[in-house]
């Protein structure tokens, strides 16, 4: 088996090998391997072994996502309390952060509480100043 065949065989059998690895194995230059693989229409870069990603909530390894399936909801939805009626509900983390960045620190369960909350604030303002 010549260099070319061996290189092709190695690539097919080991998608994680890099050009350098194959070149070392066959004791030829990286450029040589690159050309062989290119000519054979094979991927010249190695498939990156999937890095272990751990769930941000429970620490279990996931399939590349920030959280595992079970913790998806826990992570993306936060339990918050309505600033007006204090009922607990879940809201998307991104929405909370978005609102926070716009200066809306109070979270309301719905429009009704939102308007009531605003009214209350105005009352307390006029009381304080
Ligand atoms: Zn988890
Ligand atoms: Zn409410």
Residue 50, pLDDT above cutoff 70: no
| Residue 100 to residue 24: CA distance in whole angstroms | 54
Alpha carbon of 101 to ligand 1 centroid (Å): 27
Q: At what angle do helices 69-76 and 93-101 cross, to 10 degrees?
A: 20
Tokens found for residue 83:
């600033």
Cα of 83 vs centre of ligand 1, distance in Å, is 29
Q: Tell me the ligand closest to 88's alpha carbon.
A: 2
What is the pLDDT averaged over residues 84-109? 90
Q: What is the pTM of this model?
A: 0.48
How remote is the CA of residue 73 from the centroid of ligand 1, in Å?
10
Distances (CA, A) of 117 to 54, 94, 123: 40, 22, 10
The answer to whether the CB of 15 falls within 8 A of the CB of 46 is yes
Contacts of 28 by beta carbon, 8 Å cutoff, 6+ apart:
3, 7
Q: Using CA atoms, how far apart are residues 115 and 84, in angstroms rounded to an integer?
A: 9
Q: How far is the CA of 90 from the centre of ligand 2 (A)?
A: 12
**Per-residue pLDDT at 129 exceeds 60:** no
pLDDT tens-digit readout, 53-86: 899 999 998 878 889 989 999 899 999 999 999 9
Share of the chain above pLDDT 90, in %: 54
């Amino acid at each position: 088996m010549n260099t070319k065949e061996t290189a092709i065989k190695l690539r097919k059998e080991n998608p994680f090998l890099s050009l350098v690895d194959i070149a070392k194995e066959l004791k030829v230059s990286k450029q040589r391997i690159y050309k062989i693989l290119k000519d054979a229409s094979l991927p010249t870069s190695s498939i990156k072994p999937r890095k272990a990603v751990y769930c941000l909530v429970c620490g279990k390894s996931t399939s590349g996502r920030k959280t595992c399936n079970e913790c998806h909801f826990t992570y993306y939805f936060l339990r918050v309390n309505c600033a007006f009626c204090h009922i607990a509900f879940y809201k998307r983390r991104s929405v909370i952060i978005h609102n926070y960045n716009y200066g809306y620190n109070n979270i309301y369960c719905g429009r009704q509480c939102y308007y009531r909350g605003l009214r209350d604030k105005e009352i307390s303002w006029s009381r304080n100043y």
